[in-house]
Amino acid sequence: MKEFLDYVENESYWETTVKDWKKTAIRERNRYDAIESVDGDRLFTLEETGSFLGIYPTYEVIIHPYSLHVASYVEDTKVTFNKKIKALKNSEDFQKIGSFLPSYSDQEISYSVKSKYGDIEDSIWFTSATEEPNEVYLELPIEAATISVFSNEQDAIVFINGESTKKTVRDIGEIGPLPTDGSISIHAELDDRVSYAEDIYTDGEYELWFDEEYVMEDEYTEYVDDVAVPTEAELDDLYAAFQQAAVAAINERDFSIVEYYYHPGGISGPESASYIDYLDSKGITEQLIESEVVDYEVTDEGIILHTFESYMISYPDKSDAQKSFNTEHLLVNDGEEWKFYKLITTTEL
C-alpha cells in the first residue's frame, strides 16, 4: 500500500485531482470522478456512504487494483504470483491469476513446467503498463521444446540424459516439454550399438543415426595394393564433386544424381537413398556453404577421408539453421575408380 500511495502522490495529476474533488464536494454532493493514471487506468474512487449524526457526510476510498492475465504456449504451466500458485488450464488462453496495486517497482512472476524428462523453472519481471484499463496481459517466454526422433534403427531404445525411456524410436512419439538450454541430450541404443547423440535446443525432429555394420570383402581389399592412391589434390576434387552431387540429389529428391560416386558393394549408397527419402518426407532442403578434405590415410581397407562441411538447412516449419560437421568416409576402389563405401563417423560441431 505504501508503494501504491507513493506512486499516486508523485503523479503530476494528484494535486489537481484532489482540488477538483473538493470543489465537487461543495458544488454537487456524491459525484466524484475516479482518479486515473496518465494511461487511463482507474486508481481509486471517493464514494459517499452515509452521514455522521445525520449532518456530516461519510466517505469510503475505493481502490481499483490491476488484474494480471497470463498465457503460456507450454502445457501444464504453473505460475507463482504474490506467493500464490496457479495452474494454467488452457495454455493458449489468457487467464487471470491475481491482482496487484501499481507502483514504481516492477512485479515478479515465477513459472515452472514439469515433465518426466526435465523440469523448467524461471521468472520474469514486468511493469504496470496496461493494454486495457487496469488489465495487464503477459505471455510467458518459456523456452521449451517438443521433439520427435527418427533413426535408421526403429527398434532401438531411446535414452534421455543417459536414462532409458524403455520405448523404441518407433513407439515413443512426441517427447516434451524439454528445456532448450542444452542440458538435455538424447540418443538411442540397440544391443551393444549406440547412435549419435543430439543436444536439444529447438523443436523439431532429431536423427539418432547408427553406423551400419558391414563386411569388407576380400575382392575389394586387394585393390588397395594394386591401384594408385590419389594425390591430395585429386581427393579434393573428388570430394568437391561428390558434395555438389549429394546436395543436388537431396534438393531434387533424386538419388541417381549422386549414385555414381558410391561403391556398388558399399553401404553409403543405400544409406544416402534412405536419407533422401526421409528429407523429402519432411520437406527439408540443404545449401552447401563450404566443404574440404582435412586429412586422409591409407589403410588395408581403403582410404579414410577426414572432411569438414557446412550447410544451411531449410525447414518448412521453422527458421533456417547453419550446421557444420567433421566426417570420416571410407573410400574403396571398385577396380577402376575410388568410390564412397562407408560413412564411418560424423560429428556435429
Q: What mean pLDDT do residues 80-108 have?
A: 85
Higher pLDDT, 249 or 15: 249
Query: CB count, 10 Å around CB of 191?
Result: 8
Please write the tens of the pLDDT for every residue from 126-159: 888 887 888 999 988 888 888 888 888 889 999 9
Letter for the amino acid at 49? Answer: T
Pairing mode of beta strands 204-207, 144-150 = parallel
By the 8 A CB rule, do 169 and 154 touch?
yes
For the cut 90, the answer to whether the pLDDT of residue 101 exceeds it is: no
Please write the tens of the pLDDT for every residue from 293-302: 999 999 888 9
Which triple of cell numbers denotes residue 342? 562407408
For the cut 50, the answer to whether the pLDDT of residue 217 exceeds it is: no
Report the pLDDT value the prediction gives residue 187, as an integer from 0 to 100.
Answer: 94
Mean of the per-residue pLDDT values for the chain?
84
pTM over 0.75: no
Please write the tens of the pLDDT for every residue from 55-92: 887 888 888 899 999 998 888 899 999 889 998 876 67
Report the pLDDT value the prediction gives residue 1, as an integer from 0 to 100.
Answer: 80
Report the pLDDT value the prediction gives residue 229, as an integer from 0 to 100.
Answer: 83
Q: How crowded is the C-beta side of 340, counted as CA atoms within 13 Å?
A: 27
The H or E element spanning position 287 is strand 285-298
Please write the tens of the pLDDT for every residue from 182-208: 888 999 999 989 998 888 888 888 888
As beta bridge partners, residue 80 has 85, 110
Report the pLDDT value the prediction gives residue 17, as an integer from 0 to 100.
Answer: 67
Which triple of cell numbers denotes residue 269? 549408397
Q: Which residues contact 83 (CB under 8 A, 6 or more apart)?
A: none
CA–CA dist 182, 46 (Å, integer):
55
Q: What mean pLDDT do residues 99-111 have?
A: 87
CA–CA dist 144, 207 (Å, integer):
19
Confidence of residue 35 (pLDDT cuts 50, 70, 90): confident
Q: What is the spatial order of strands in the sheet that 175-179 belongs to? A: 175-179, 144-150, 204-207
